[in-house]
A = this chain, B = another copy of it.
């Protein structure tokens, strides 16, 4: 780590200058934009960032960032990133993955990164499709989706990425969208501040193979009824002028109701810091048409980061054990031949 004062960056300082090769109109452009802007504002020396990805359109991301980076193999970015973070905890290690990369072939590494609480910041670009391989359905595609590989419609129900992460014990999960640049930047900032694993689902439009997949969420008009922004300590209001709200019925069933000035004790007041994860879990699978889709930080609870525990053990061993190599090689019992 450099001990010089941190330079102040502009967004373009994070651009590698490599020609960006996504399709014109792809949602990935706005995400790139937001990440570059957010990184520039973070006050972290550029050389301390490492961005690791798998394979997919989304996974081309590291090439476009003027940081250290690895374009890995399909689904395995969290493994590479875990090695980096354990070897060099002082680095800021970001993972960029797609719904296919992260939840199809890479699902296991993702849930284990969550379980361990390794200090990786994971951005999953969820376009509900395999873009790079030309449009097969993904584990987040809606049931019945007609794609190149499912001419009669897909038959499997999708994952909710945030539910999967919470099921695995995630300590930070958030959701945002390509189109919401400021919100996206804020989520990036929040993830960076979290110690341990942070998982962000970024709703992303693939205008070539799944155009409008998130239209209900990102459309100027649609979003009013279909999005609820999570804010710490605030009731979950949404709709035109916040005229609707979410309540939790006695039986534990959520329901969308008319806002009644907060008088209903069943009103859900958002608390991202609750240790018990069931409410975050409940939020994680709410979705239109019945419910608005929650955007924002669903959960942010403190827990020791894996890399800290790892190095704490090393430090303890270094303090309490000899590091004499000769002694080690000799072991407890030797004999001498003259």
| Size of interface on A: residues with Cβ below 8 Å to B | 48
* B-chain residues with CB within 8 Å of residue A303 when the two chains form the complex: 157
- Interchain CA distance A34-B253 in the complex, whole Å: 36
A61-88, CB under 8 A of B: which get 1 and which 0? Answer: 0000000000000000000000000000
Interface flags, A146-173, vs B, CB<8A=1, else 0: 0000001101111110011111110000
Residues of B within 8 A of A169 (CB): 157, 159-160, 163
* Complex Cα gap A199–B122 (Å): 29
Chain copies in complex: 2
Cβ < 8 Å to B, chain A residues 221-266:
248, 250-254, 265
Interface string of A312-329 (1 = CB under 8 A from B): 010011000000000000
Q: How far is the CA of A281 from the CA of B156 in the complex (A)?
A: 22
- Chain B residues within 8 Å of A111, by CB: 107-108, 111, 159, 164
Q: Is A212 among interface residues, defined by CB-CB distance under 8 A?
A: no
The interface bits of chain A over 284-315 (1 if a CB of B lies within 8 angstroms of the residue's CB, else 0) are 01000000000000000001001001100100
What's the nearest-Cβ distance from chain B to residue A13, in Å?
36
A107 contact set on B, CB distance < 8 A: 107-108, 111-112
Closest Cβ neighbor of A269 among chain B residues: B251
Q: Contacting chain B: which of A14-22, A50-58, A272-280?
A: A272-280
> Is the Cβ of B168 less than 8 Å from the Cβ of A317?
no
Q: For A276, list chain B residues within 8 Å (CB).
A: 252-254, 282
**Neighbour of A310 across the interface among B155, B159, B279, CB < 8 A:** B155
Q: Shortest distance in angstroms between A268's beta carbon and chain B's nearest beta carbon?
A: 8
What are the residues of chain B within 8 A of A190 when measuring CB–CB? none
- CB neighbours (8 Å) of A116 from chain B are 156-157
Q: Which of B157, B277, B309, B310 contacts A117 (CB 8 A)?
A: B157
Q: Is A139 an interface residue (CB 8 A)?
A: yes
Which of A105, A107, A303, A317 has most B Cβ within 10 Å? Answer: A107
- By a CB distance below 8 angstroms, the chain B residues around A160 are 169
Q: Does A194 contact B (CB under 8 A)?
A: no
**A168-B157 contact in complex given A152-B317, A252-B276, A279-B252, C-beta closer than 8 Å:** no
Which residues of A does B touch, CB under 8 Å? 105-108, 111-112, 115-117, 139, 152-153, 155-160, 163-169, 248, 250-254, 265, 271, 274, 276-279, 281-282, 285, 303, 306, 309-310, 313, 316-317
